[in-house]
Chains A and B, each alone.
Chain A
Amino acid sequence: MKKENDNGKPRHRYGMVIDLDKCTGCGTCMIACAAENNVSVRPDQSDKERAITWMRLYKITNGKEFPDTEVSYFPRPCMHCDHHPPCVSVCVATATKLDFNTGIVSQIYTRCIGCRYCQAACPYGARYFNWWDAYFPKDKGLDRYLSPEVSPRMRGVVEKCTFCHHRLMRAKEQAYAEGRREIEEHEYQTACTEACPVQAITFGDLNNPDHKVSKLVKHPFTFRLLERLGTEPKVYYYSSRDWVRKLGDNFLPGEYKPVLHKTWMQEEWSTKPGRDTY
């Protein structure tokens, strides 16, 4: 991956590793995300195609019979694809771009014309269309918790996870105030990363070898969703359970190769390929 931008300056590639072994499916990340990013809540949130959830939790099961059943969760933010993000390629209004300096796929609401082409192109369903105006009725006063750091969206535009881009801005301002140009790893963390009560999410610069994420992505248990599409998502998942990893892509029968890992194969207490049951 290219580490410098056209000016020869170091390029960041922010990314995320989500540990699915740790993830308990509590949903705090979804709420932290919605609260942080001024995502409005409409009275009916059960129409999942239209309810806006930048970070969305998917529930998966191993499909086994009782009592061998096992449930796991996939938290899914925007993948911030690093290689020709499908949404960017199709945008007719240049409302979404891959920011080369940060690796973040941007979304400019005031530029978006609401054609929803990007939504159709995204293989991860990470994009959401505002079918209605943001739900902040004046007499309710819910608009009082809105953060000025994120611009509320109007009806008819598409929105998605921005890796809490405003937090990068916040970190930069703080750094500038202290006379620094570069920011530390802990200074820029997304809202979901910070909120996760089991610390299942790790966020950082994949181009920086000192950041935790760049070490984690090398682990054999780490994988990405629909990796073979070649979009190079910058959101990685980690799971010691084979059946979970297998659900990360559409495999033909027999195509999936289980990850064989010496240490856990030898351990009596190993947790894979699936939880031991009685």
Chain B
Amino acid sequence: MKLTRRNFIASVVGGAVGIQITPLPWKFTDDVAIWTQNWPWVPVPPSGEFSEVSSVCTLCPGGCGISVRKVEERAVKIEGRTDYPVNPGGICPLGMGGLQLLYDESLRFTGPMKRVGMRGSGEFQRITWREALDIAGARIAALRKEGRPEAVAAVDGNGEGTTASLLIQRLMQAVGSPNYVRPASLSDTYRMGNILMQGRDAPIAYDLENSDLIVSFGCGLLEGWGAPGRVLNAWGMWHEGNPAKRKVKIVQVESRASNTASKADYWVAAKPGTEGALALGLAHVIIRSGRYDAGFLAEHAFGFDDWQSRDGVVHTGFKTLVLKNYAPEQVSRITGVRPDAIVKLAGMFMDAKSPIAIYGKGKNELNGSLYEFMAVQSLNALAGRINRVGGVLLPDPLPLNPLPHFECDEIAAKGLEKPRLDRAGTKAYPFSHSLIHKFAEAINGSRKSPIDTLLVFSANPAFTLPDGGAFETALKKIPFVISFSPYRDETANMADLILPDCVYLEKVDDIIWPVGLQYPLYGLSKPVVDPIYDTRNCGDTIINLSKAIGKSVGAAFPWKHFTDVLKERAKGLYDAGGGLVRFNPAAPPWVAKGAGSKTGFKSFDDMWKKLEAGGMWYRPAEQQRDWSWLFKTPSGKFEFYSQRIEQAIRSGSTKEMRITVQGDEACMAHYEAPAQDPDRTAYPLTLFPYEMINLASGWIPSPPFLYKTIFDTQLLKDTSFAAIHPGTAGQYGLKQGDLVSVESPAGAVKVRVDLFEGAMPGRVYMPLGFGHTGYDEFLKGKGANPNAIVRAGEDPVSGYPVWWTTPVKLVKA
């Protein structure tokens, strides 16, 4: 029998029929359908046992309590802790997206590295920790041997007073370099003002929760000021219940209809940099009406009325100054706020039961102006709102142990005698501890960089400083840069050696008194997951590095681990007695006596265990009862007239300190008009860089999640927007979405125009946080960084950059 065509067809037909009565076609179809539902590249997250780990978020100095949900060893979600006093419940968007900072590998350094590519290219090669520490140690040791330890410098972005920050300062001392610099933040302005007016070297403590009228002079309450979790929680509290019967009113003084300005009960649109003048305007109305706190002024204030000094000279008092210079009409001319509005606002301030005036400039990441702070604080004093519930409290600093004293060796002692490169603490800048823009200026101004090796900790000055790119230029000149950043940021990309820190969820770290909180709180974070890469806690690295530099430097670090240092400092909390390590939501720390005084621990070890578990030690807010030691000023009182400034002027000069007024006025809060640029005709507009709560503008990168919340009128593809008043835009013939170049004497950036009625005419508002050249595809090349074109003046006395008055022009692209 041969296989004919016919037979073949018969068998095919047979096969075709036969296959129908087998499972093949049916099961195959079904399986293919299922197969298309399970592409191998669609991830299937493995399941397992769920657990929650409580810790503290250290992404900003706000220090919110976080609870991380884990599946086996993986962290899958961050949530706010309801059992933490700072933020009972919520956290900010940055904290919410934190897992991407942990798990986005291309955002991070996975181990110690040395540079192989061009500087800034971000090309590195993995080395071992031993090698890395040897390179760094040998370099610093060599400089010490040469007798120029001052050629080592450190930029430290860790929170003021944190243990990591103390270790870095100690390392610089042990090495023998005075060049320890920190980027200026609002906390520095607060601290300086606090010392000058109240004689207290402590953070500012605004008792917002107990106030019924909050007049915010530029504080971005909803933009991430202070501890965002705390402010937002308070915001929710204030808006609870019937809107008509709300007890708390919020007034926002700001030039732009920001979220805070829009959501506040009143918005006062004062020109940027004139907030202090407005505060003095309110003071004028209050003084004139006589409804100030005469008792407080008589007993606890100095320099309100005219006074006579020991040498018989009669000095002008705050009262005379304000009555003379800050009448509503005068203030109106400065601020652009209508005189009747100033009178009305002052009336509100007088009528309120417990008003508070708070000072700020957006978030806390950038500094403020000293005289502006003094003006706002003077207003508080005038109304007797100092050391009062619902006002400005004066709690004692955290009783943490100082690090033990150590002896510098000879090389270090010599090095420490050398002047600081940034001239902080000199006659020109008597009260500043560090001035990072002057540091960059000094390097850029010399032919050869006086700094040989720069260590960068928790900071990204090449991106975050409002200096028109000066620091980046300086970085290029410095022969050797060591970065301790866990992220591939702009500064790290310029580095020659990377000793990567762990990401915040992998490490133990501390928070010293969240900014603006009215009670002292010590926060302690713990590792939520084990380090997923070959990175080490920066505190441990510093200890190891000190040993790598040499014996005498290493001797200053008698600890094995960073936790030993933390524990040693925390011992002071225990020795001071009192304090709470647990939070009872029913008795929050801002309710006087609500939280009780039972500490809940028996021994230091017990306290430490509970501190590690709960992540907090705090003392509930209260008024100080004993006024006699409260103000550690020369007069022992609250000083409207700061005698410390007087002394500084006497040993230097007002000109050196960039104060434009003469005489007694210079020692009191007053308005300083910004130095007028001669080229205002060429640059008729003013740039105001603004901050947003949903975009990180500091050294921490924005988790990619944040870009979901950015509107397409803020970022479109790779171009960010500048918000401009439609009237101003009209003068340039600009429409919504037009590409435009914003040019200042310091440079130019390309942006699109966003017409926004809530923008003050004549201003250009650019968001901070865009325009990265580091990191990965999520952040790189997105938008423009206004810092690149800021040309900052210097704040009188403090010397911090005045970053809010850059003259710019718009050129249609």
- The answer to whether any beta carbons of A and B sit under 8 Å apart in the complex is yes
Q: A66-B757, A198-B90, A263-B245 are in contact. Are A140 and B105 (CB under 8 A)?
A: yes
Q: A30-B708, A41-B705, A275-B265 are in contact. Are A197 and B233 (CB under 8 A)?
A: yes
Residues of the B chain whose Cβ atoms lie less than 8 Å from the Cβ of A47: 712, 717
Encode contact with B along A119-152: 1 for CB under 8 Å, 0 otherwise: 0000000000000011010011111111110001
A148 near B71: Cβ-Cβ < 8 Å: yes
A197 near B103: Cβ-Cβ < 8 Å: no
Overall SS of chain A's interface = loop
Q: Does A271 contact B (CB under 8 A)?
A: yes
Q: Closest chain B residue to A73 by CB distance?
A: B259
Interface residues of A in 28-78 (CB under 8 A from B): 28, 30-32, 34-36, 38-39, 41, 43-48, 51, 53, 57, 59, 61, 63-67, 69-72
Residues of the B chain whose Cβ atoms lie less than 8 Å from the Cβ of A140: 104-106, 776
Q: How far is the CB of B704 from chain A (nearest CB, A)?
A: 4
Q: Does B341 contact A (CB under 8 A)?
A: yes
B239 near A22: Cβ-Cβ < 8 Å: yes
A27 near B93: Cβ-Cβ < 8 Å: yes
A59 near B711: Cβ-Cβ < 8 Å: yes
Q: Does B450 contact A (CB under 8 A)?
A: no
Q: Does A94 contact B (CB under 8 A)?
A: no
Encode contact with A along B45-87: 1 for CB under 8 Å, 0 otherwise: 1111000000000000000000001010011111110000001
Residues of the A chain whose Cβ atoms lie less than 8 Å from the Cβ of B756: 69
A145 near B75: Cβ-Cβ < 8 Å: yes
Q: Does B740 contact A (CB under 8 A)?
A: no
Q: How far is the CB of B105 from chain A (nearest CB, A)?
A: 4
Q: How far is the CB of B696 from chain A (nearest CB, A)?
A: 12
Q: How far is the CB of A57 from chain B (nearest CB, A)?
A: 6
B757 near A145: Cβ-Cβ < 8 Å: no
A142 near B104: Cβ-Cβ < 8 Å: yes
B236 near A198: Cβ-Cβ < 8 Å: yes
A146 near B45: Cβ-Cβ < 8 Å: yes
Residues of the A chain whose Cβ atoms lie less than 8 Å from the Cβ of B71: 147-148
Residues of the B chain whose Cβ atoms lie less than 8 Å from the Cβ of A194: 79-80, 89
Q: Which of B100, B228, B243, B708 contacts A51 (CB 8 A)?
A: B708
B244 near A264: Cβ-Cβ < 8 Å: yes
Kindly state the separation between the CA atoms of A71 and B757 in the bound complex, as whole angstroms.
10
Encode contact with B along A164-192: 1 for CB under 8 Å, 0 otherwise: 00000000000000000000000000010
Residues of the A chain whose Cβ atoms lie less than 8 Å from the Cβ of B233: 197-199
A71 near B236: Cβ-Cβ < 8 Å: no
Q: Report the interface size for chain B: residues with CB under 8 A from the other chain.
A: 90
Residues of the A chain whose Cβ atoms lie less than 8 Å from the Cβ of B687: none
The range of chain A's interface size is 35 or more
B244 near A26: Cβ-Cβ < 8 Å: no
Q: Does B222 contact A (CB under 8 A)?
A: yes
Q: How far is the CB of B307 from chain A (nearest CB, A)?
A: 36
Q: Does A249 contact B (CB under 8 A)?
A: no
Q: Which of A48, A64, A152, A269 contacts B249 (CB 8 A)?
A: A269
Kindly state the separation between the CA atoms of A147 and B97 in the bound complex, as whole angstroms.
14
Kindly state the separation between the CA atoms of A36 and B77 in the bound complex, as whole angstroms.
7
Q: A145-B103, A199-B89, A263-B245 are in contact. Are A45 and B708 (CB under 8 A)?
A: yes
Q: Does A110 contact B (CB under 8 A)?
A: yes
B338 near A41: Cβ-Cβ < 8 Å: no
A142 near B757: Cβ-Cβ < 8 Å: no
Residues of the B chain whose Cβ atoms lie less than 8 Å from the Cβ of A191: 77
Q: Closest chain A residue to B533 by CB distance?
A: A141
Q: Does B344 contact A (CB under 8 A)?
A: yes
Residues of the A chain whose Cβ atoms lie less than 8 Å from the Cβ of B613: none
Residues of the A chain whose Cβ atoms lie less than 8 Å from the Cβ of B268: 278
A48 near B712: Cβ-Cβ < 8 Å: yes
A28 near B93: Cβ-Cβ < 8 Å: yes
Q: Does A270 contact B (CB under 8 A)?
A: yes
Q: Does B323 contact A (CB under 8 A)?
A: no
B45 near A41: Cβ-Cβ < 8 Å: no
B46, B232, B268, B717: most-surrounded residue (chain A CB, <10 A): B232
Kindly state the separation between the CA atoms of A132 and B725 in the bound complex, as whole angstroms.
38
A264 near B243: Cβ-Cβ < 8 Å: yes
Residues of the B chain whose Cβ atoms lie less than 8 Å from the Cβ of A267: 244-245
B74 near A144: Cβ-Cβ < 8 Å: yes
Q: Which of A19, A21, A134 contacts B43 (CB 8 A)?
A: A134
Q: Does A86 contact B (CB under 8 A)?
A: no
Kindly state the separation between the CA atoms of A71 and B707 in the bound complex, as whole angstroms.
20
A143 near B90: Cβ-Cβ < 8 Å: no
Q: Closest chain A residue to B707 by CB distance?
A: A45
A276 near B266: Cβ-Cβ < 8 Å: yes
Q: Closest chain B residue to A38 by CB distance?
A: B45
Q: A53-B708, A140-B104, A145-B74 are in contact. Are A276 and B265 (CB under 8 A)?
A: yes
Q: Which of A25, A34, A72, A263 contacts B244 (CB 8 A)?
A: A263
Kindly state the separation between the CA atoms of A155 and B102 in the bound complex, as whole angstroms.
26
Q: Does A7 contact B (CB under 8 A)?
A: no
6 A-B pairs with least C-beta separation: A197-B90, A27-B709, A264-B244, A69-B758, A197-B232, A198-B236
12 more CB-based (< 8 A) A-B contacts, given A19-B239, A45-B707, A148-B47: A26-B693, A59-B711, A67-B257, A71-B262, A136-B43, A144-B74, A145-B74, A146-B45, A147-B69, A147-B77, A195-B80, A275-B262
A-B contact pairs, 15 of them (CB 8 A): A21-B243, A22-B239, A28-B90, A28-B91, A30-B708, A36-B77, A41-B778, A67-B758, A136-B43, A141-B105, A263-B245, A267-B245, A270-B243, A271-B265, A277-B266
Query: What residues of chain B have their CB less than 8 Å away from a CB belonging to chain A?
Result: 37, 39, 41-48, 69, 71, 74-80, 87, 89-93, 96-97, 99-100, 102-106, 222, 228-229, 232-233, 235-236, 239, 242-246, 249, 257, 259, 262-269, 337-338, 340-341, 344-345, 693-694, 703-713, 715-717, 725, 756-761, 776-778
